Amino acid sequence: MSKTEYQGWELEHFDNSSNFRKYQNYLLNKHIKGLTAEIGPGNGELLNYYKDKLNNIDLFEPSKTLFDNLKFKFQNQKGITFKNEVFPLSENTYDTILYLDVLEHIEDDKGEIIKAFNSLKPGGKLIVNVPAFQHLYSKFDKDVNHFRRYDKKNFFKLLKNLDYANYQMTYYDSVGYLLSLLSKIFSSDYKKNFNNKIKIWNALIPLSKIIDKLILNLFGKSLFVIIQRK
């Protein structure tokens, strides 16, 4: 299934996970500047954290349902342009481009990365957040239209053809990793008590932040990647 058809039934559960969203914002906020494009912003939950520090934001949301929700939710916010389409190649245009839990929904992820990288201005940053480790791939991933999960090694393969790029990759949410692994091994129905599971995981995010530092981000439920065009 393509990202255009994706409706994001699970988004409300994760959007209500404030500790997780704050952790994501902690990782990305200092890198966002200038003309920014967010690809597949969903319900715009992370947009709430960074919108007031920017003057111009382009939102590309191909899902009509999510696009309409975004326009309604942020209709009074100045500086936001809403685009009900997939992200087009826009060479040397953006200072920051965000793919936050989106790339895993796109079948041609390599082509998407190349397109986004070429749309950056020199010095611009492409910021990507994806689910980590293919061995955690589960029925949940399949049901929400994830083509894959990522580790540093296979993500690096996406970057091999990018000229003049600097990058850094960080795993995070070690507790989330362990909970996902246990769920895959012992739970035959992830939907059972799904909302309660999400609440427990979100409550443990502060612990996850501590453990992440202690283990030097050796592993985690998610992979955070920053690619800078020289």
Q: What is the pLDDT along the chain (230 residues), one digit of tens a residue?
A: 344 444 455 666 677 789 999 999 999 999 999 999 999 999 899 999 999 999 999 999 999 999 999 999 999 999 999 999 999 999 999 999 999 999 999 999 999 999 999 999 999 999 999 999 999 999 999 999 999 999 999 999 999 888 888 999 999 999 999 999 999 998 878 888 888 999 999 999 999 999 999 999 999 999 999 999 99
| pLDDT at 47 (0 to 100) | 94
Helix axes 18-28, 205-214, angle to 10 degrees: 40
Residue among 109, 114, 107, 96 at smallest CA distance from 154 = 109
pLDDT at 213: 97
Handedness of CA 56, 60, 65, 68 (dihedral sign): positive
Q: What is the pLDDT of residue 6?
A: 46
Rounded CA gap, 157 and 52, in Å?
Answer: 35
- Number of Cβ within 10 Å of residue 93's Cβ equals 15
Tell me how far the alpha carbon of residue 230 is from its chain's centroid. 23
Q: Tell me what pLDDT residue 3 has.
A: 40
Q: What is the pTM of this model?
A: 0.93
pLDDT at 165: 83
Contact between 37 and 98 (Cβ < 8 Å): yes
Q: What is the pLDDT of residue 226?
A: 97
pLDDT of residue 11: 62
